[in-house]
Structure 1
Amino acid sequence: MSNKIAEFLRAQLSAFIGGMTDLGIYTFCYKILHLSAPLSNVVSGSLGAIVNFLINRYWSFNSTETSVGCQLWKFVIVVLGSIMLKSLGIHYFVDVWGWHFLFSKLLVELIVSLVFNFTLQKFWVFKK
């Protein structure tokens, strides 16, 4: 298996772990704390992002030559954009169109993670 494919698969596993963390917290915030779906996404996305950053830095992209601070500010920008896109998508699917909150979350997560997050993390945040 080529290094690029292995790196992509590691990044997807990292996204999955971060996503499962995010999904668990999202469900807790929405169902137990009764926060709105978009607000639940902001809380869960922020905490899931911390998990994702650490796994990506040390394992997925093995990008420890660059300082944490340099990577972190870029990562925060990507996460803010990601949370904004996801919250907007979830708002439309749940609040406007009445779709199920978990289905909406999973669909939006998949699209934003593959198109927006991976591309910016690989070629900007953790660029070697």
Structure 2
Amino acid sequence: MAFKLKEFLKAQLSAFVGGLVDFGIYSFCYKVLLISAPFSNVVSGSLGAVVNFTINRYWSFNNTTVPLANQLWKFIIVVAGSIFLKSTGIHFLVDVWGLHFLLSKGIVELIVSLGFNFTLQKYWVFKK
């Protein structure tokens, strides 16, 4: 059980680092470049995903025995689904309900990251 908890915590740290990159780029796109919140999320989520994949492959799940391409295509599918879910959630929270763009991003990130991303990455993308 301790090994699984350790792996979970490492994956959460990886998600946090990727999330910092994501939030920084999201804020920059939205506030400086004046890009819509949902599209800012697409840009930032894509770049944050690169960071997250790299950390997960080499550290969190430590699975480099499976060829990179086999993991990458699965990860791209997960990221596409994640970005879709997050952008849709952000659209509703920001554009429909008028919540603050960062609060909206935080709420959606938490729900999608724990319920969707971690599960698919552990049991499908980086499965040993």
For the criterion TM > 0.5, the same-fold answer is yes
How many Å apart are 1:2 and its aligned residue? 1.1
Any idea what the Cα deviations from partners look like across 1:55-98, whole Å, max 9, x if unmatched? 00000000101000000000000000000000000000000000
1:96 matches 2:66: no
Q: Which residues of structure 2 form unaligned runs of 5+?
A: none
Q: Which residues of structure 1 form unaligned runs of 5+?
A: none
1:23 matches 2:23: yes
- Tell me which residue corresponds to 2:36: 36
Runs ≥4 residues deviating over 6 A = none
What is the aligned residue count? 128
- Tell me which residue corresponds to 2:11: 11
- Tell me which residue corresponds to 1:110: 110
**TM-score normalised per structure 1:** 0.99
Q: In the aligned structure 1, how far is the partner of 2:45 from the partner of 2:2?
A: 31
Q: In the aligned structure 2, how far is the partner of 1:19 from the partner of 1:109?
A: 8
**TM-score normalised per structure 2:** 0.99
Cα RMSD, aligned residues only: 0.7
Any idea what the Cα deviations from partners look like across 1:13-59, whole Å, max 9, x if unmatched? 00000001000000000000000000000000000000000000000
* DSSP 3-state at the match of 2:23: helix
The one-letter amino acid paired with 1:93 is: L
State percent identity of aligned pairs. Answer: 73
